[in-house]
């Protein structure tokens, strides 16, 4: 993706927020506990992402996965 600005479409699910920008998608796992799954820790969200990549890799040839931590400031802003 170039440095030019683009608009992203946003899709929110019960466990993630997905941003679609140009030919890429960026997913943020939510820190939620729904009873049947618990993503309240960074380790749990990381493990879920790794499983998702492993499962989807066979259907998305050439798909590159990158992992980057996100943090909120003390005032709860990004």
- Contacts of the segment 70-73: beta carbons below 8 A, 24+ positions apart: 70/28
42 touches 48 (CB < 8 A): no
Strand partners for 20:
9, 25
Residue 24 has pLDDT above 70, yes or no: yes
Please give the DSSP secondary-structure letter assigned to residue 23: T
What is the reported pLDDT for 54? 82
Look up the pTM and report it. 0.70
Q: How confident is the model at residue 2 (pLDDT cuts 50, 70, 90)?
A: low
What is the reported pLDDT for 66? 67
Q: How confident is the model at residue 35 (pLDDT cuts 50, 70, 90)?
A: very high
């Amino acid at each position: 993706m170039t440095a030019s600005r683009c608009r992203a479409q946003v899709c929110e699910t019960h466990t993630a927020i997905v941003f679609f920008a140009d030919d890429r998608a960026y997913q943020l796992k939510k820190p939620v506990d729904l009873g049947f799954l618990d993503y309240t820790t960074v380790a749990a969200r990381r493990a879920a992402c790794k499983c998702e990549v492993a499962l989807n890799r066979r259907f998305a040839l050439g798909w590159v996965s990158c992992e980057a931590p996100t943090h909120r400031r003390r005032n709860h802003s990004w």
